[in-house]
C-alpha cells in the first residue's frame, strides 16, 4: 500500500465529461444498481492515497449522492465545454501540491484494486517516471503523473487526454504497466447494455 502522508500521491477521478456518445452522464450510468462513479471510487478508496478528488460539472448534486459515505473532495470544472483537457487541468490545479497524481477515468467498469496497486508499486520504484496502463507500445489512463509533468499536462487543449503526452515521452521517462481490469470502458449505449448483460454482481 502507498504510504499516506500529505503531498505524496493524490487520486483525481475525471467525471465531468459530456458523454455525448452515451447520451447521459457517463459517471452516473448504472450497472446492477451501482453507478460507474461509485464503482470507481470503491476501487480507489482502498489504495492508501493521500486523498481522492472528483472533478465534476456544475450542479453535481447527483454525483455527490453517488459518493455518500466516502471521503472525497470535489472540484467543479466550469469549463468542461473545452473538452477532456479541461478536466485534466482542473484536477491538476486541485492537487497541485501533491508529489504525483493518479488520473483515473470514471467509466472503468471492471477496475480492480490489484491493478491500481500494481500501477502504484511500479511508480514507487521510479517516482520520477510517469506510470501508465500499457496499450500496445504506448500508454493511457489510468496514469500517475509526477509533479514535473504538471505544466506540460496543463498545456493540453481540446478533447485531448494524456495518451499523446505519454507517447511523446522518451522510454526512460515512463513506465507502462499491464492493467487487465482497466481495459473495458463505457462509451456508448451498447457498451452499457453489454456491461449490464455480462457483468456479474458477485464478481
> In degrees to the nearest 10, what's the CA dihedral of 101, 107, 113, 117?
-30
pLDDT at 23: 61
pLDDT at 137: 81
Is residue 56 a contact partner of residue 38, using CB atoms and an 8 Å limit? Answer: no
pLDDT at 107: 86
- Residue 16 CA to residue 44 CA, distance in Å, equals 17
- Residue 157 CA to residue 106 CA, distance in Å, equals 20
Ramachandran bin of 158, using left for φ above 0, alpha for ψ from -120 to 50, beta for the remaining angles:
left
pLDDT at 180: 93
Homologous superfamily in CATH for domain 9-196: Spore Coat Polysaccharide Biosynthesis Protein SpsA; Chain A (3.90.550.10)
pLDDT tens-digit map of 108-167: 888 888 999 999 999 999 999 999 999 888 898 999 999 999 999 999 888 777 888 999
Q: What is the pTM of this model?
A: 0.87
Domain residue limits, the chain: 9-196
Which positions of the chain have pLDDT values less than 50? 1-6, 202-203
- Residue 134 CA to residue 151 CA, distance in Å, equals 23
Amino acid at each position: 500500500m502507498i504510504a499516506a502522508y500529505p503531498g505524496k500521491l493524490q487520486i483525481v477521478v475525471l467525471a465531468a465529461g459530456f458523454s455525448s456518445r452515451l447520451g447521459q452522464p457517463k459517471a452516473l450510468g448504472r450497472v446492477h444498481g451501482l453507478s460507474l462513479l461509485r464503482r470507481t471510487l470503491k476501487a480507489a478508496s482502498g489504495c492508501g492515497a493521500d486523498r481522492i478528488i472528483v472533478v465534476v460539472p456544475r450542479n453535481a448534486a447527483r454525483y455527490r449522492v453517488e459518493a455518500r459515505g466516502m471521503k472525497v473532495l470535489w472540484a467543479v470544472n466550469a469549463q468542461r465545454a473545452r473538452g477532456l483537457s479541461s478536466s485534466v487541468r482542473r484536477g491538476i490545479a486541485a492537487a497541485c501540491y501533491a508529489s504525483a497524481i493518479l488520473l483515473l477515468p470514471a467509466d472503468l467498469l471492471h477496475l480492480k484494486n490489484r491493478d491500481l496497486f500494481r500501477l502504484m508499486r511500479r511508480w514507487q520504484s521510479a517516482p520520477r517516471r510517469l506510470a501508465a496502463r500499457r496499450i500496445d507500445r504506448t500508454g493511457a489512463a489510468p496514469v500517475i503523473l509526477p509533479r514535473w509533468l504538471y505544466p506540460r499536462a496543463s498545456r493540453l487543449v481540446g478533447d485531448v487526454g494524456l495518451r499523446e503526452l505519454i507517447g511523446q515521452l522518451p522510454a526512460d521517462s515512463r513506465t507502462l504497466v499491464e492493467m487487465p481490469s482497466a481495459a473495458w470502458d463505457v462509451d456508448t449505449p451498447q457498451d452499457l447494455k453489454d456491461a449490464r448483460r455480462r457483468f456479474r454482481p458477485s464478481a
